[in-house]
Chains A and B, each alone.
Chain A
Amino acid sequence: MSHPNTDALFDHVRSANADVAAHAASCSACKAELAELSALVHGARAIEPEPASTYDDDVAIALALEEAPAEQPRARWPYGLAVAAAALLAVGAWFAQVQPSVLTVQAVDATTGALVAEVAPGSVVSFQVPVRVVLGEGISVELDALSTFAVLDMNAPDVLVRLDSGTLHWTLLGPPNHSLTVTTAGSPIVVHDGTGQVSATTASEVPPKPTPRPARRRAAAASDLLVPTPDVQIEPMPLEPNVAEPPEEPVPASPVPAAPGPEALYKAAELAMADGDTANALVLLDELAARWPDHPSGHLALFDRARLIERTDPTHAAAAWRRYLDLGPGEPLYDVAEARLCRVDPPTCR
C-alpha cells in the first residue's frame, strides 16, 4: 500500500482501518505522523473548559428571561427610550426655568488626556463640536455637535452623564480651533489640564481664539491609533494673573497617520483585551462605536465594551449593556446582553 492520504490517516484515527494500520506498521514516517494526528484528536477530546463560577447565574438568568408565558411578548427594553425622553424633558424644563450664564472654554485637547471641568449637579452642558464625554475610566458618551445634555443626577446610572466626585471628564474629537461652550447654572467652570487648575472664565471674560499649538507627544498605544484630527491644547484663560501654567516646550509636530478602519481598530482592541490592557481596549472600542455606529464592528464594540465595563467598573455595567440593547433585538448578541443586564441589574430581570 502506498502512503495513505490525509483523509485516510484522520479516518484511521477516528475509526481504525486495517490497511492503514498495516502500512503504518512498516512505515516509520506514517507511524510517526499517525501518532501526531492521534495526539491532536485525543487532545481535542480532552479539552475541558475551566469550571465556571457562574453556573448558577447562567441557569437562573436563562430561566428568568425565557420563562415568560407564550402569550406575553418579551419586553425589549423600551426602557432606554423612556430614559432618553425623560432626560430631554428634564433639559427642556430646566431651560425654561434658568437663564444660564455662558462660559466658553476656548481650547480643547484632542488627545486621550481628558480635560476636567468641575460642573455642579443640575448643570446643562452644551458643545459646539462633536464631543466624546469620558465618564471615568474608559466610559464615554458620544455627543453630536451642538448637542446638549443635562447632568441630572450624579448617582443615577441612567442619566446620560454622570459626574465623578463633581468632576466631568471629556475628550474632544472635533477639529481644532473650535470652542467648547459650557453652559451652567451659574457656577464658574474651572478647567484643569490634569495637573492643576488652568483657567476659569465667565461670559464676560471670553478670551480670544487660541492659535493652534504643536501636538503633544502621545504615550498610549490606543491614542496612537486615534489621531484623525490634529491636537490642540488648553489655552490659559486666567481670571487672575498668576493662574496660568507656564508655557510648554513646543514638540515637533509629527505627520498625522491615516485613520485606521473599523476592522483594524477592532483588531487592535481585541489584542488589547487579550493583553489585559483594559484601558486601551476601552478607548479603542469607544472610538470604534463612535465612528462607525452603523458598522457591525461598531455594534460589536459596544458589546465588548459593556463586557469590559462589567468586569472593571460594575456600577456602570447596566448602562453599558442598555446602550448595546438600544441597538435593537435584531443584534446577534442581543439575548446575551439581555442576560448580562439581568445579571448586573437584577430588578430589571423579569
Chain B
Amino acid sequence: MSLDAARRGDRASLDALLREHLPAIRRTIARCTGAGPEADDAVQQTLMAVVRGISSFRGDAPIGAWIHKIAVRQAWASARTRANVIPFVEEADTRPASGEMRAEAAHAVAHLNRLSPERRVAFVLHDVEGFSAREIAETLDIPEGTVNSRLREARMQLREALGARARKVS
C-alpha cells in the first residue's frame, strides 16, 4: 500500500489504508463513546473524513496519528451531539458491556459509562491512551486547562466509585 497513491486518490490504496486502520479506529471510538450504534456511526464518519481529507494530509505526523485524531474528533462530536440533545444523567446508562468482552474490560466499561462524555474522553485519551493534556487540547480544540479539569473530575469520580465498590465488597 502506498500512502502517496492513497493521497492521489488511488482507490485500492485508499481501501487498503482504511482497512489497515479500521480496527484501531473502532477501538478508540469504543473507548471514547462506548460500543453500540453511536460508535458505528462515528466509525463511518471517521472513514469518510479520512477519504475526504487524505489529499490534504501533509505527512507532518504519522498517518496513524492523523487518523487517530480524526477518530477522536468524530467520537467526541458524536458524544457531544447526543449529550446536547439529551442531558447526560450519570445513572442513566446501564447498558451492559458486550458478552465477548473480558471481565476486566467489562468492569472498566461499566465505570466509563458513568462518566459524562467530556470526562470520559479526557480520561480515555490521557490515562488509557497516554496522550498529554496538550495533545488532547489540540485534538479537541479546547483549552489545555479544560482538559486538565475534566481529567481531574473524571479521576475523582472514578476513584470515588471504586472506593464505594471496595467498601461495598468489604
Contact = CB atoms under 8 A, between A and B. Distances in A.
B43 interface: yes
A49 B27 contact: yes
B85 A52 contact: no
A164 interface: no
B19 to A, nearest CB: 6
A58 B40 CA distance: 9
Interface in A25-81: 32-33, 36-37, 39-50, 52, 54-55, 58-63, 65-67
Nearest to B98: A50
A6 B123 CA distance: 13
A150 B32 CA distance: 47
A6 B41 contact: no
Contacts of B30: 47-49
Contact of A62 (B26, B51, B162, B166): B51
Nearest to A269: B86
A296 interface: yes
Contacts of A332: 77, 81
B64 interface: no
B15 A267 contact: no
Q: Chain A, interface size: which category? A: 35 or more
Contact of B14 (A42, A46, A58, A63): A63
Interface string B78-120: 0001101111000010110010111011111101100000000
A263 interface: yes
* Residue among A54, A300, A332 having the largest count of chain B Cβ atoms under 10 Å: A332
Contacts of B59: none
A335 B45 contact: yes
B85 A300 contact: yes
B35 A62 contact: no
A63 B11 contact: yes
B1 interface: no
Given A7-B155, A54-B40, A335-B45, A46 B104 contact: yes
A61 B22 CA distance: 14
B111 A40 contact: yes
A332 B80 CA distance: 10
A interface, by DSSP: helix, strand, loop or mixed? Answer: helix
A195 B1 CA distance: 63
Contacts of B19: 55, 59
Which of B30, B50, B155 has most A Cβ within 10 Å? B155
B96 to A, nearest CB: 9
Nearest to A52: B26
B67 interface: no
A58 B104 contact: no
A62 B48 contact: yes
Interface of A: 6-7, 9-10, 13-14, 32-33, 36-37, 39-50, 52, 54-55, 58-63, 65-67, 263, 266-267, 270, 274, 296-297, 300, 307, 332-333, 335-336, 339
Interface of B: 9, 11, 14-15, 18-19, 22, 26-27, 29-31, 35, 37, 39-41, 43-45, 47-48, 50-52, 77, 81-82, 84-87, 92, 94-95, 98, 100-102, 104-109, 111-112, 124, 126-128, 130, 152, 155-156, 158-159, 162-163, 165-166
Given A54-B40, A332-B77, A336-B41, 6 more contacts: A6-B159, A36-B166, A43-B104, A44-B127, A49-B30, A335-B48
